[in-house]
Amino acid sequence: GEDVEQSLFLSVREGDSSVINCTYTDSSSTYLYWYKQEPGAGLQLLTYIFSNMDMKQDQRLTVLLNKKDKHLSLRIADTQTGDSAIYFCAEIISGNKLVFGAGTILRVKS
Amino acid sequence: GAGVSQTPSNKVTEKGKYVELRCDPISGHTALYWYRQSLGQGPEFLIYFQGTGAADDSGLPNDRFFAVRPEGSVSTLKIQRTERGDSAVYLCASSGQDPRGELFFGEGSRLTVL
């Protein structure tokens, strides 16, 4: 099927690390993505990883990819209250169709 | 503006009515996508245009839904005989030639069918 699965909710304290996990379905996906959706705003690309990479670091963000298990994770270091949002994992299937997971709500407590 | 623009931002209609939702993509973007997002769910793919043609319409739920992009820029999503289950936020996105395939999303049109 085309289900991208992610945990629904994560609550962390400000300053802690957050880890959001995702499993995807298509082993031929060339890119895998993390999108962020803030209240009342459109989705924005947060980061991405090319399928031939195991890890990508971008400032406070670290993306880990395990192709064998089709597992993708997003780690946010030193999580801030402004990081509170919904995070969507997404993969490309059938060439150009981006398929999203249901989203993980990240709540950061100060 | 420079982003993807969607109108109306909110639409309330009655069951059985016809609705049109408009998307104005980023200038120069050849690919345009429509997604539907229900409360508590991720965006669900509806249709993808490359230029004027629908390259993949496999996500349209039934024949009440139709989308056009006659000049390869603005697109209209048309819903006939609306049902309460059509209530959702309809998202439009566009992308250019970037091989990463980044989609740029509009803020969506919230449709409520009473």
Q: What is the pLDDT of residue A1?
A: 44
pLDDT at A62 over 90: yes
> In this complex, do A42 and B31 lie within 8 Å of one another by their Cβ atoms?
no
Span between the terminal Cα atoms of chain A, in Å: 39
CB-CB: which of B56, B91, B105 is closest to A97?
B56
Q: What is the pLDDT of residue A2?
A: 58
Q: What is the pLDDT of residue B99?
A: 72
Which chain B residues are Cβ-neighbours of A30 within 8 angstroms? 101
Percent of chain A having pLDDT more than 90? 77
pLDDT at A105 over 50: yes
> In this complex, do A97 and B107 lie within 8 Å of one another by their Cβ atoms?
no
Which chain B residues are Cβ-neighbours of A42 within 8 angstroms? 4, 91, 105-108
Q: Considering only alpha carbons, which residue of chain B is nearest residue A101?
A: B42
SS3 B55: strand
Residue of higher predicted confidence among A5 and B1 = A5
Q: What is the pLDDT of residue A37?
A: 94
Per-residue pLDDT of chain B (114 residues; tens, 9 = 90+): 589 999 999 999 999 999 999 999 999 999 999 999 998 899 999 999 999 999 899 999 999 999 999 999 999 999 999 999 999 999 999 998 777 778 999 999 999 999
Longest dimension (CA), chain B: 42
- Say how many CB pairs under 8 Å bridge A and B: 54
Kindly report the three-state secondary structure assignment for every residue of A55-75.
EEEECCEEEEEECCCCEEEEE
Q: Looking up tokens 């298990």, which residue turns up? A: A69
Beta sheet of B5-7, edge-to-edge order: B5-7, B19-24, B75-79, B65-68
